[in-house]
Homo-oligomer: A and B are copies of this chain.
Amino acid sequence: MPHMEDTCDVLIIGAGPAGLMLGCWLARTGSKTRIIDRREAKITRGHADGVQCRTIEIFQSFGMEETLRREGNELSETVFYNPDRNGHLVPTSRIPDTEPNISRFRHVVLNQGRIEDTLIDCMRKDGLTVERSMSPISLEFSDSSAETHPVIVKVQHLAPATETSNGSSGLYRSNIISDEEFHRGFTAQGGQVETIKAKYVVGCDGARSWTRNQLGFSLEGDSANIYWGVMDARPITNLPDIRVKVVLHSVSSGSLLIVPRENNLVRFYIQMGTLQPGEKLDSSTQSPEKILESARKILAPYTLECPEIEWWSVYEIGQRLCKHVSHKNRVFLAGDAFHTHSPKGGQGMNVSMADSYNLGWKLAACAKGLADPSILDTYSGERVEVARQLIEFDHKVSRLFSGKPAVTAESEGVSMEEFQSLWIRMGKWTSGTGVVYPPSLIVAESSTQKSTLAKNIIIGSHFESHMVVCYADAHATHFADRLVADGRWRLIIFSGDLGDLNQQSRFNNLCDQLTNADASPIKRYTPPTANLNSVIEVLTLTSSPRKALRYSAFPEITRPFVGKHRYPTYDQIFSDEVSYLDGGGGAYMGYGVERDGPGCVVVVRPDQHVAEVTGFEDCIDVLARFFGGFMTVDGMKL
């Protein structure tokens, strides 16, 4: 059998949501990538299902949000059921499941298998496919500093695994299963070995990460000694609410969470029991009947029949974090490989995909020599803090969720008011839209001057969306829809009122500087023969209406000519006016920029996070300093 060898920019180990999202970035930006997975087949049922607003925004940036809209079930309402003074379960309050005004999208649920399909389709369109039944067996570093591909991973092709991921039992991935049992079936059995030399390796290989073990890192944290069951079923019940999210505490039989899913499925999370410290749950005695029995006790006197249980599992509640997520900026961990927690917040899959959405464009830029590898430090700086917050949140919520409710204000137990208020307060954070990255090489410090220019734009946060009107065609459109994931940085010019001749002249002068000044990052980093916007894209938002200045009067840099025939582009200039049929006209107010003010320029990263804010006059200096800190041409700083 020949010993095969290959080199690539990035080797991704593990093709779950985190690995696939990373694959989408790398395939879209044209990096040479391989993505391997030990498992023979993708899951098709069960596992994660919640898709938060920010995740849909991320999917939209790749043009793949349609599956979620078409197939996912939008969660519109959350109802809290608690015992009344007589111990009867009653709905005590109803709230919208997605907090108003945090996103143009809504929280939906869809099974992890379909999410993975969507990512796989997106990758495939860009030429990347998952290689299955491939197990990594060793990871080494070349010590030579001249080595461009210093990470050496041997992988072995597995014989078709006996483990099948698509039965109705999801126990095989549960944390109540021992490591030994978990890894059974993945032992390499004499299959072909291949050596892959990579610039970068990313371990997206889950809670029992092989990559993490190779690096000698470990998850740290504790367990709550409480175990819950989970099942997907089509229920028949006289509970008045079964197609909205239900958060339910019984008097003394435990708690339950109901999440209605696509195709009339319902996901149930059901509190089952406690363990003694150190006690291990016997996985062989778990069954869907036992879970259903627990659910019935909690729901009583309401009835519950589940003629078909599509999927089920049992897990122990715990929170664990690995604070080290990279080794020499060459090997990284993403997703469950560095943070695990309980599933009820619907966070795991979302935070995991957000990890690799953060990492992907950075790796692509470094692999292509467009950015200095020092930007890779920001991955840990940005994502470990998010994971820490996640684990803190989950620790609080899961203990309140599993606690006995206080039936009256005087009685002992968990205060339902406290629980509900925590739940609501965390809405923005759990939607993924509350994440703010700290200052770094690629996130500038805030300042009073910057806040004055754009009051509501938070440096480090993602660029929020408002409805604007496309100058050339009068379409009403969400501004953030234009922040597509193609690896480009963006300059968003709030031009102000171009009907004012003085402001128009300042705007033209700015565009001229961006086009011609030697210090302009557009001039500096755009290859001379390429489209003016190929590295940094300019988007313009006027506060004046469309008729104030005709389209062809805008400088070329704001509507660059493309292709052999030099056709103008029509989708980079917008007006903050009321559209004919879809509202709008509130974007300047939403971003906190004065309509009649001096305007400003906002720098947005390829992952939509705001990196810098500047005025027109100091724009070139500020941009030169900012981009000069990390941008490179063929790997060299200029």
Tell me whether A243 and B100 are in contact (CB under 8 A): no
Tell me whether B473 and A234 are in contact (CB under 8 A): no
Nearest CB of B to A478, in Å:
14
A580–B307 alpha-carbon span in the complex (Å): 33
Tell me whether B475 and A236 are in contact (CB under 8 A): no
Q: Which B residue sits closest to A91, measured CB to CB?
A: B547
A566–B241 alpha-carbon span in the complex (Å): 18
Tell me whether B260 and A473 are in contact (CB under 8 A): yes
Known: A243-B570, A552-B238, A565-B234. A581 touches B474 (CB 8 A): no
CB of A420 closer than 8 Å to a CB of B: no
CB of A568 closer than 8 Å to a CB of B: yes
CB of A66 closer than 8 Å to a CB of B: yes
CB of A244 closer than 8 Å to a CB of B: yes
Of the candidates B74, B307, B472, B568, the one whose C-beta lies within 8 Å of that of A565 is B307
Tell me whether A473 and B568 are in contact (CB under 8 A): no
Known: A236-B566, A236-B568. A475 touches B76 (CB 8 A): yes
Which residues of chain A (535-570) have a CB below 8 Å from chain B?
Answer: 547, 550-552, 565-568, 570
Tell me whether B581 and A100 are in contact (CB under 8 A): yes
A307–B234 alpha-carbon span in the complex (Å): 59
**Can you list, as one digit per residue, whether each of A256-267 has a CB less than 8 Å from chain B (1) or not (0)?**
000010001000
Tell me whether B240 and A551 are in contact (CB under 8 A): yes
Which residues of chain A (54-90) have a CB below 8 Å from chain B?
Answer: 66, 70, 73-74, 76-77
Q: Which B residue sits closest to A565, measured CB to CB?
A: B307
A382–B73 alpha-carbon span in the complex (Å): 39
Of the candidates B100, B264, B580, the one whose C-beta lies within 8 Å of that of A580 is B100
CB of A96 closer than 8 Å to a CB of B: yes
Known: A100-B580, A308-B565, A581-B96. A264 touches B570 (CB 8 A): yes
Which residues of chain A (259-316) have a CB below 8 Å from chain B?
Answer: 260, 264, 307-308
A308–B475 alpha-carbon span in the complex (Å): 25
Q: 15 additional contacts, CB 8 Å, given A74-B475, A236-B566, A241-B551?
A: A76-B473, A76-B475, A76-B476, A77-B580, A94-B547, A96-B580, A98-B580, A100-B581, A234-B567, A236-B567, A238-B552, A240-B550, A240-B552, A243-B472, A260-B473
A-B interface, 4 closest residue pairs, ranked by CB to CB distance from nearest: A96-B580, A76-B474, A243-B473, A77-B474
Interface set of A (CB-CB < 8 Å, partner B): 66, 70, 73-74, 76-77, 94, 96, 98, 100, 106, 234, 236, 238, 240-244, 260, 264, 307-308, 472-476, 547, 550-552, 565-568, 570, 579-581
